Amino acid sequence: MYEKLSLYIDGEFIDGGPRSSQNVLNPSTLETIAHLPHADEVDLDRAIAAAHRAFESWRQTSAMDRATILRNVGARIRDEVDVIARNITLDQGKPLAEAKAEVLACADHVDWHAEECRRIYGRVIPARHSSIRQIVVHEPVGVCAAFTPWNFPFNQAIRKVAAALGAGCTLILKGPEESPSAIMAIARLFHDAGLPKGCLNIVWGKPAEISHRLITSPIVRKISFTGSVEVGKQLAALAGSHMKRVTMELGGHAPVLVFDDSDVPRAAKMLAKLKVLNAGQVCVSPTRFFVQEGAYDEFVSIFRDTLASVKVDDGLQANVNMGPVANERRVAAMSAFVEDARRLGGKVLFGGEPLQRTGHFFPPTLITDLPDSAKLMREEPFGPIAPIVRFKDVDEGIRRANSLPFGLASYVFTGSLHTATYVSNAIEAGMVNINHFGISLPETPFGGIKDSGIGVEGGSETFDGYVSAKFITQR
């Protein structure tokens, strides 16, 4: 059964009634699978008031009790993985196996936050006089507003929900209208786990209208957004003008440096498979492939063969490696990247055209011989396209890798310890993968620098964005 879609405000699931709504489509079949109600002004005001009321008691709840609810949700996620994952495949398109992996990873995220929220420690600062005691306590910032995207609908939302609730904050969440089932599952699981009413509220609608209303409300104290750099900058500017804290997880354009001394076949196979994960709609997807001259031909050949072996189909079919892209906008964007690449002399070695079938299908695509000025080398593709270019030496590789305003994930493949250390120090990125892919675990910090964002999610830093330091000095 597809998840029942509604608003969730003050502990109540609210059907659409006379409210406006939008269709939710399956990107593989283009069939309408459900209707999603939009919140009106009154709903938004109710959600803000409910989160405000709930904060007064939730902030007093012990970390032990918050952890109990989070652990309960983690267990429920594992119990329901099959149902939640199937619905993600239906409204987002990714292969079922990937959807299951996403959901199970979320159970681990919730567990991590359950453990870690009991360690939101303060500290004692040695005073200048024995009669004075100086302490720092970390208090929850208050009501938070979160905006999460459609590429990992469960994962992107659960990180924010678990961090906010674990810290003692309450939350109003606007999820992705095109892939809403995962968000409804989150609301249902927390509701059933006994989360007090008003602590988590779910609203839907026109993103810009909802974010404006929530960010400008004096009750909302913190904004967390995952999405494009462009929208992130707009929301951060609005939040800044109202002096609100932000966590921004924005786009990247992850450079990959493959050196002559690496295990080239292993790197090529691994990276090609990683490239098509979630049809390339991953903010940490490897996206700019710089391959050293001696390794180039072998890398390109194995990478191409690996892409050619990828089975593209409806994510519910057996043995599918890649589903459709999530919406029509991504198909159009992929075509525009290819057109620009061709115009600049790029060679399309595989793929390049939308598949002639129902659904938003664009094949894995490999393009070589591009100048760094090509759109594909400058803008985040957010789709299954890989540009591969040559470089000569380490400093040229680093210079080109660092040449964009982004700084999210990066990849280095080398057999040299010296090169690994040198590049990981010099590369401008929030996360560096050396000879493997190992980021996005609950216990490790995830976030970007430069235009890729502010703050991190996960790791022992995960609550930093949701607490304020209060200094108390006492005589």
- Which are the catalytic amino acids? 249, 283
- Work out which of 58, 150, 259, 466 binds ligand NAD, going by CB under 6 A: 150
Question: What is the Cα–Cα distance from 388 to 139, expressed in whole angstroms?
Answer: 48
Q: Tokens representing 354?
A: 């939308």
CB of 400 to ligand NAD, least distance (A): 21
Of 14-22, 72-80, 247-255, 342-350, the window that binds ligand NAD (rule: CB under 6 A) is: 247-255
Pairing of β 21-25 and β 32-37: antiparallel
Element of type H or E holding 222: strand 220-226
Residue 171 contacts by C-beta under 8 Å, 6 or more apart in sequence? Answer: 51, 143, 144, 145, 146, 160, 161, 164, 165, 199, 200, 201
Pairing of β 170-174 and β 143-147: parallel
Q: Tokens representing 198?
A: 């008003």
> How many residues in the shown chain lie near ligand NAD by CB under 6 A?
21
> Between residues 235 and 386, which has the closer beta carbon with respect to ligand NAD?
235
Contact between residue 363 and residue 344 where contact means Cβ atoms under 8 Å apart: no
- Work out which of 149, 205, 286, 364 binds ligand NAD, going by CB under 6 A: 149
**Beta-bridge partners for 413:** 258
Question: What is the Cα–Cα distance from 262 to 183, expressed in whole angstroms?
Answer: 41
Contact between residue 362 and residue 330 where contact means Cβ atoms under 8 Å apart: yes
Element of type H or E holding 35: strand 32-37
CB of 248 to ligand NAD, least distance (A): 9
Binding residues for ligand NAD restricted to 161-180, rule: CB under 6 A: 176
CA quadruple 139, 144, 149, 152: dihedral sign: positive
CB of 455 to ligand NAD, least distance (A): 13
Contact pattern for ligand NAD over residues 361 through 390, marking x by CB under 6 A? -------------------x-x--------
- Work out which of 205, 227, 315, 442 binds ligand NAD, going by CB under 6 A: 227
Determine, following the binding rule CB under 6 A, whether residue 249 of this chain makes contact with ligand NAD: yes
- Work out which of 61, 228, 301, 444 binds ligand NAD, going by CB under 6 A: 228
Contact between residue 77 and residue 84 where contact means Cβ atoms under 8 Å apart: yes
Of 53-61, 129-137, 204-212, 347-355, the window that binds ligand NAD (rule: CB under 6 A) is: 204-212
- Work out which of 147, 154, 289, 406 binds ligand NAD, going by CB under 6 A: 147
> Between residues 114 and 215, which has the closer beta carbon with respect to ligand NAD?
215
Of 15-23, 39-47, 146-154, 240-248, the window that binds ligand NAD (rule: CB under 6 A) is: 146-154
Of 203-211, 257-265, 288-296, 316-324, the window that binds ligand NAD (rule: CB under 6 A) is: 203-211
Determine, following the binding rule CB under 6 A, whether residue 280 of this chain makes contact with ligand NAD: no
**SS3 label, residue 370:** coil
**Beta-bridge partners for 171:** 144, 200
Determine, following the binding rule CB under 6 A, whether residue 457 of this chain makes contact with ligand NAD: no
Of 55-63, 243-251, 456-464, 467-475, the window that binds ligand NAD (rule: CB under 6 A) is: 243-251
Contact between residue 254 and residue 285 where contact means Cβ atoms under 8 Å apart: yes
Rule CB under 6 A: which residues touch ligand NAD? 147, 149-151, 176, 207-208, 211, 226-228, 230-231, 235, 249-251, 283, 329, 380, 382
